[in-house]
Amino acid sequence: MAARQLFAPGERDPCHICGKFKGISQAHHVVPLTAQYDRGFKYPDQECVSLCPNHHAIVHLFIHVDGRSMARPAMRARGRTTSALHVDLTDNEFDQMMELVRRSMRSPE
Ligand SMILES: [Zn+2]
Ligand SMILES: [Zn+2]
């Protein structure tokens, strides 16, 4: 492990959710910039985590950029789409996912 890190000094972080796909992980804004704008953040919050392309796409299915989409019918409709994805997630991965979703709902300080 240590030796491998030595040979790849510029390597990116592994996926926050599955801990894999180090080489192809993408930066994901914990609070999406569009959501920050909608909520009136004065300064953009640049807090990012690394996600593999797969989990990055899934996180965005769970994260909503405006308050309206958190309404119960919208959540239910989305549940049908996302329930198919749950089977691909381990319990731990699902917890990580939900933690990111919670953090994405932060309001400006
Ligand atoms: Zn992943
Ligand atoms: Zn993202």
pLDDT digits (tens, 9 = 90+) for 9-58: 456 799 999 999 888 999 999 999 888 988 899 999 999 999 999 999 88
Q: How far is the CA of 88 from the centre of ligand 1 (A)?
A: 11
Q: Report the domain count for the chain.
A: 1
The answer to whether position 109 is within a domain reads: no
Given a cut of 50, is residue 81 above it in pLDDT?
Answer: yes
Q: What is the pLDDT of residue 62?
A: 81
Question: Which ligand lies nearest to the CA atom of residue 51 in the structure?
Answer: 1
Nearest Cα residue to 26 out of 60, 2, 3: 60
Residue 68 has pLDDT above 90, yes or no: no
Domain hosting 18: range is 12-104
Indicate which ligand has the atom closest to the C-alpha of 26: 2
Q: Please determine, for residue 4, whether its predicted confidence score (pLDDT) is greater than 80.
A: no
| 3 Cα to the center of ligand 2, angstroms | 31
Decide if 82 contacts 74 (C-beta within 8 A): no
Residue 5 lies in a domain: no
Q: Is residue 87 included in any domain, yes or no? A: yes
Inter-residue contact 98 to 59 (CB < 8 Å): no
